[in-house]
């Protein structure tokens, strides 16, 4: 369950780890430090693009609320889950 408490601490990997990622238009992502690669869907791709500029949660939630027809609660939950997967791939 998502709560405000979850969002109070930044759930994303450090900005420097995200900015080093090579992201292709197809959603293929390569981390040149760890050598890991993974794929993201269209939504993941747009979140990653936003994260490479700033890892503040609020602007991302706001942008996703504008782009997708879903409740803020659902968006928060999905973003938290995505952040957890990202930390596994690019380190925290």
Partner 1 sequence: MSDEITVAITGMNAKPDNPGPGLAVARCLRESPDFNGRIIGLGYDGLDPGLYLGEFCDAGYILPYPSSGDEALLGTLKTIQEKEKIDVFIPCLDAELPNLVRLRPSLEEMGLTVFLPTPEQLRLRNKDRLKELADHAGIESPETKSITSAGFFYKCQEQGWSFPFVVKGLFYDAQIVNSTEEATEAFRRIAAAWGFPVLVQKLIKGEEYNLTAVGDGEGNMLGAVMMKKMAVTSKGKAWAGISIDDKTLYDASAALVKAISWRGPLEVEVMRDRHGIYQLIEINPRFPAWIYLSAGVGRNLPLALLQLALGKPLPEFDDTRTGKMFIRYAEETITSINEFEDVMMKGGHSLTRPQDNK
Q: Are the C-beta atoms of 80 and 11 separated by less than 8 Å?
A: yes
Tell me phi and psi for residue 30, to 5 degrees.
-125, 130
When the beta carbons of 11 and 75 are compared against partner 1, the nearer one is: 11
Helices (H), ranges, 1-92: 4-8, 15-19, 42-51, 57-67, 72-90
59 is a contact residue toward partner 1 (CB under 8 A): no
Which range touches partner 1 (CB under 8 A), out of 28-36, 42-50, 60-68, 74-82? 28-36
Q: Show the binding pattern over residues 63-92: x = contacts partner 1 (CB under 8 A), - = does not.
A: -------------------------x--xx
42 is a contact residue toward partner 1 (CB under 8 A): no
């Amino acid at each position: 369950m998502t709560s405000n408490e979850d969002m109070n601490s930044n759930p994303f990997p450090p900005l420097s780890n995200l900015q080093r990622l090579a992201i292709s238009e197809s959603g293929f992502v390569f981390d040149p430090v760890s050598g890991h690669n993974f794929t993201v869907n269209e939504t993941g791709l747009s979140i990653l693009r936003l994260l490479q500029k700033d890892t503040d949660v609020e602007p991302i939630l706001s942008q996703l609320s504008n782009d997708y027809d879903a409740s803020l609660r659902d968006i928060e939950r999905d973003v938290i889950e995505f952040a957890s997967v990202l930390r596994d791939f690019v380190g925290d």
